[in-house]
Amino acid sequence: MSTQIETPSLSSLEYLAYLDSEGCINEDMQGKIGVYAIFNQAQEMQYVGYSRDIYLSLKQHLIRQPQNCYWVKLQTITRPSRKILEDIASAWIKENGIIPVGNDMDKSVWTEPIDANPAMTEEEKAQYQQNDELGQTKIRKKVARRVEADIQKQLSDRGVKMNIRFNPKLKEKGLLDLK
């Protein structure tokens, strides 16, 4: 009995719409372990990742990069194995011919919480400098809420209908990530 998993070629996999007709990510992917490649509207590879819950990972990428998440190809495995997942991801990137921007220079915008702090206005920056820690926290939360509203509008414009909730504790630091 072999534990080796056949690495499917990227070209052999079907493009799946990132969002279904109801504006949601396919819930059948919840709790599924595997590798996924995300493509923009022109079906150009943007990011390759792997996860213990593909659904949650795709949801995170959608809030971080809504303009680049239109298509996905994926391969699930039954038992978690970082080596197998990394091997499949590497093979797909090699097959693509170039490293996707999300795995290269733009990796942090695909994998890290959204930093709302750079969106502070000059007035907010001045207020921030003059405030104590509590006042600074309030300003960071205000900025994070404004950036969150922009993201929610982008998602709505994309036709996203699923519930998106951001972690309120991270807003205190000026960061946005899903709860």
**Distance linking the first and last C-alpha atoms of the chain:** 41
Name the helix (H) or strand (E) containing 54. helix 54-64
Domain spanning 10-111, CATH class: alpha beta
pTM score of the predicted model: 0.91
H or E element at residue 137: helix 133-158
User: Are 112 and 72 within 8 A, CB to CB?
Assistant: no
Residue-range domain boundaries for the chain: 10-111, 114-176
Element (H, E) at 17: strand 16-17
42-88 pLDDT, tens digit per residue, is 999 999 999 999 999 999 999 999 999 999 999 999 988 999 999 99
